[in-house]
């Protein structure tokens, strides 16, 4: 498998900061994977997203996207392959109507109008917002707004989508819908997803989890490995998943159950087994 | 107060006037303001009034709505008219007191000015009420296009206008939120003397500015990450389409001007 994203020894510091926000970071992401980037506030997650699409230029180190080295000459080309969905949908709308906003990125590419109309239609259908095409984005609900913002990115057909806490302002239902949608798009379009998040559901979707702490990569692993030690999770900016908390509570009541991360179904299986054995 | 003013508001509809190209409406309104000043006798004012009433009728919006829209401005209009009536000299005054005088000429002059105001307000209300802010900014962009040749940044100005229009509701929500938050902390709005009231505005203004800066920062980053560099080399999704009825509207305004010119010589 080729590495679609590769960071080699990347360092970035803001001018006013005394310590680097990203400190010699290296990792690679394979194509069509779902990668969650987690860490406490101020661990450098959002800075990382901005370095990846060239909004911020690293002080040292290299960023390679799709085999292309990120430089001033390639930055616009790379941005066409990499879309970011930001946290607050209200602050990302440029267009005055939904379809207009979805078309904004395409306009920037200078795409022909006939082709644009098709592409906008396609993107709105994917996020199920076709009926709202002529509305102003400002009158939509939070979840709908975020869907429009996603359509605006999807319309560009990027190979990589970065979600920069894209679901953090939504209610549980809206969050669930958006996750299902992104998962579907990842599967159908073969996208690579980088999700920067504190949301447990979002993390459990991931093939790979990268933990950042104070600008360093603390740990890289799959979901089971990350959740293996529940006592450490708080320092990752996370709370232990419900299944794990339940297992810990059961342990305290001397139920013979381990505290490894399991899905809900697996936990139900375990408890059922225990029940049958007693 | 703001709720009563209807200029600048948009009423959705599907009338002939609604369907016109916003550029045609914009140019026509502009022409009308000039045309109004061609009128100088009662016949020409009757022609103008008939023309405007026809336009209002075609928009399928009730005349009462327009009249209600005039109400908040009526004092201003009457004030101007009364000044005009009393300070017009010439003609045969039938009443005089110092520099103030009344004559048939000054009365008719006052009436004409009143009608002029009315007509201009009617027609500009007709423009804004049948045109969405978005169409309006598209029309302004299209009309300003020739200025590109003198290196005026038409596309940038149009983008700014469109973003500004679009963020009005968001910022007004933000203002309400800040006001309520400050009220909860004990700030009184709209009470006390002038100085106290002005001071009470500060705790709204500063957070509002800061939040505008934040929005601008977020928006600019979102725009850049979606590939916006400059207006050059961009294509356009929204397109205005000029139809024959738009040409006819402009022709009818031309005809109106000719009629008024003919009536002038009476």
**Distance from the B195 Cα atom to the nearest Cα atom in chain A, whole angstroms:** 35
Assess whether pLDDT exceeds 90 at residue B14: no
* A76 min Cα distance to partner chain B (Å): 7
Tokens (6 digits) for B34: 């000039």
Residues of B in contact with A97 (CB under 8 A): 134
Q: Which two tokens stand for residue B138?
A: 């598209």
A24-64: per-residue pLDDT in tens? 999 999 999 999 999 888 888 989 999 998 889 899 999 99
- Which residues is A82 bridged to in the sheet? A160
What is the predicted pLDDT for the residue at A154?
92
End-to-end C-alpha distance for chain A, whole angstroms: 47
Pairing of strands B100-103, B93-97: antiparallel
Of B166, B233, B238, the CB nearest to A93: B166
- Counting other chains too, the contacts that A112-120 makes at CB distance below 8 Å and 24 or more residues apart are A112/B235, A113/B235, A113/B236, A113/B237, A113/B239, A116/B235, A116/B237, A117/B237, A119/A155, A120/A155, A120/B237
The reported pLDDT for the residue numbered B260 is 85
pLDDT of residue B1: 37
Distance CA A74, CA B163 (A): 28
Task: Give the nearest partner residue to B225 out of A55, A91, A93, using CB atoms.
Answer: A55
Q: What is the mean pLDDT of chain A?
A: 89
Which of A98-112, B54-68, B176-190 holds the top average pLDDT?
A98-112
A153 touches chain B (CB under 8 A): yes
A83 touching B (Cβ < 8 Å)? yes
pLDDT of amino acid B266: 67
Contact B237 A103 (CB under 8 A): yes
pLDDT given at position B220: 93
The average pLDDT across B196-215 equals 90
pLDDT (average), residues B137-155 = 90
Average pLDDT over residues B145-161: 89
Task: Provide the shortest C-alpha distance from residue A207 to chain B (in Å).
Answer: 26
Nearest to A158 by CA among A98, A85, A97, A100: A85
- Cβ contact (<8 Å) for B227 and A109? yes
CB B120 within 8 A of CB B73: no
Nearest to B114 by CA among B62, B72, B56, B75: B75
Please tell me which of the candidates B165, B218, B237 has its beta carbon nearest to residue A100. Answer: B237
pLDDT range class, residue A112, cuts 50, 70, 90: very high
- Strand order across the A60-65 sheet: A22-30, A3-12, A60-65, A68-69
HEC profile of chain B: CCCCCCCCCCCCCCCHHHHCCHHHHHHHHHHHHHHHCCCCCHHHHHHHHHHHHHHHHHCCCCHHHHHHHHHHHHHHHHHHHHHHHHHCCCCCEEEEECCEEEEHHHHHHHHHHHHHHHHHHHHHHHHHHCCCHHHHHHHHHHHHHHHHHHCCCHHHHHHHHHHHHHHHHHHHHHHHHHHHHHHHCCCCCCCCCHHHHHHHHHHHHHHHHHHHHHHHHHHHHHHHHCCCCCCCCCCCCCCCCCCHHHHHHHHHHHHHHHHHHHHHCC
Tokens read off for A220: 């890289």
Mean per-residue pLDDT over chain B, rounded = 85
Residue of B nearest to A53 (CA): B225
Q: Over the stretch A170-207, which tens digit does the pLDDT of each residue have?
A: 888 888 888 998 999 899 889 999 999 888 888 988 99
What pLDDT sits at residue B90?
A: 67
Mean pLDDT, range A248-258, rounded to an integer: 87
Task: Tell me the two tokens of residue B214.
Answer: 């934040």
Least confident of A241-250, B1-10, B112-121: B1-10
* Cβ pair A116:B235 closer than 8 A: yes
Query: Does the pLDDT at position A67 exceed 60?
Result: yes
ipTM for the assembly: 0.85
Provide the 3-class DSSP secondary structure of residue A146. helix
Q: Which two tokens stand for residue A232?
A: 């450490």
Residue A50: C-alpha distances to residues A55, A89, A94, B173, B250 (Å)? 5, 17, 19, 29, 51
Whether B166 sits inside 8 A of A136 (CB atoms) is yes
- Checking if the pLDDT of B7 tops 60, the result is no
Q: Is A66 on the interface with B (CB under 8 A)?
A: no
Pick A88's closest partner by Cβ from B163, B218, B226: B218
pLDDT bucket at B2, cuts 50 / 70 / 90 = very low
Residue A107 reports pLDDT greater than 50: yes
C-alpha distance across the termini of chain B, in Å: 44
pLDDT for position B6? 57
Is A94 in the B-facing interface, judged by CB distances under 8 Å? yes
Quick one: pLDDT band at residue A113, thresholds 50, 70, 90? Answer: very high
Q: Which residues of B touch A86 (CB under 8 A)?
A: 218, 221-222
């Amino acid at each position: 498998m080729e590495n679609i994203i590769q960071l080699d020894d990347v360092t970035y510091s803001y001018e006013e900061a005394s310590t680097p926000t990203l400190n010699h970071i290296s990792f690679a992401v394979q194509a069509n994977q779902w990668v969650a980037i987690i860490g406490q506030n101020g661990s450098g997650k959002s800075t990382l997203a901005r370095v990846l699409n060239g909004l911020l230029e690293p002080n040292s180190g290299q960023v390679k996207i799709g085999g292309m080295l990120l430089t001033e000459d390639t930055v616009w080309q790379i941005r066409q392959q990499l879309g970011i969905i930001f946290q607050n949908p209200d602050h990302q709308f440029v267009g005055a109507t939904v379809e207009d906003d979805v078309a904004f990125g395409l306009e920037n590419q200078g795409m022909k109008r006939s082709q644009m109309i098709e592409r906008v239609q396609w993107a709105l259908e994917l996020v199920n917002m076709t009926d709202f095409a002529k509305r102003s984005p400002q009158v939509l609900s939070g979840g709908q707004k975020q869907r429009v913002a996603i359509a605006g990115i999807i319309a560009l057909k990027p190979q990589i989508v970065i979600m920069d806490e894209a679901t953090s302002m939504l209610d549980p239902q809206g969050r669930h819908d958006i996750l299902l949608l992104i998962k579907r798009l990842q599967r159908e379009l073969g996208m690579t997803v980088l999700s920067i998040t504190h949301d447990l559901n979002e993390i459990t979707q991931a093939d790979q989890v990268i933990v950042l702490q104070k600008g360093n990569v603390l740990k890289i692993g799959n979901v089971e490995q990350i959740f293996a030690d529940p006592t450490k999770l708080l320092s990752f900016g996370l709370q232990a998943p419900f299944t794990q908390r339940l297992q810990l509570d059961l342990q305290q009541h001397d139920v013979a159950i381990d505290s490894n991360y399991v899905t809900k179904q697996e936990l139900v299986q375990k408890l059922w087994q225990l029940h049958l054995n007693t | 107060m703001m709720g009563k003013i209807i200029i600048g508001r948009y009423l959705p509809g599907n009338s002939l006037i609604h369907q016109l190209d916003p550029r045609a409406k914009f140019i026509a309104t502009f022409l009308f303001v000039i045309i109004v000043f061609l009128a100088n006798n009662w016949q020409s004012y009757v022609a103008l009034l008939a023309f405007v009433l026809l336009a209002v009728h075609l928009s399928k919006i009730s005349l009462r709505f327009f009249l209600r829209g005039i109400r908040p401005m009526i004092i201003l209009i009457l004030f101007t008219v009364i000044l005009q009536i009393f300070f017009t000299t010439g003609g045969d005054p039938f009443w005089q007191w110092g520099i103030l005088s009344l004559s048939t000429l000054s009365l008719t002059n006052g009436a004409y000015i009143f009608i002029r105001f009315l007509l201009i307000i009617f027609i500009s209300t007709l423009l804004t009420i049948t045109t969405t802010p978005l169409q309006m900014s598209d029309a302004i962009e299209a009309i300003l296009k020739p200025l590109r040749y003198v290196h005026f940044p038409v596309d940038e100005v149009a983008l700014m206008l469109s973003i500004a229009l679009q963020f009005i509701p968001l910022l007004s929500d933000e203002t309400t939120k800040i006001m309520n938050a400050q009220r909860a902390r004990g700030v009184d709005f709209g009470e006390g003397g002038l100085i106290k009231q002005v001071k009470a505005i500060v705790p709204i203004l500063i957070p509002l500015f800061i939040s505008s800066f934040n929005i601008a920062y977020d928006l600019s980053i979102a725009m850049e990450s979606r590939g916006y560099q400059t207006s050059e080399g961009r294509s356009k999704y929204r397109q205005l389409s000029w139809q024959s009825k738009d040409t006819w509207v402009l022709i009818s305004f031309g005809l109106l001007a000719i009629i008024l010119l003919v009536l002038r010589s009476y």
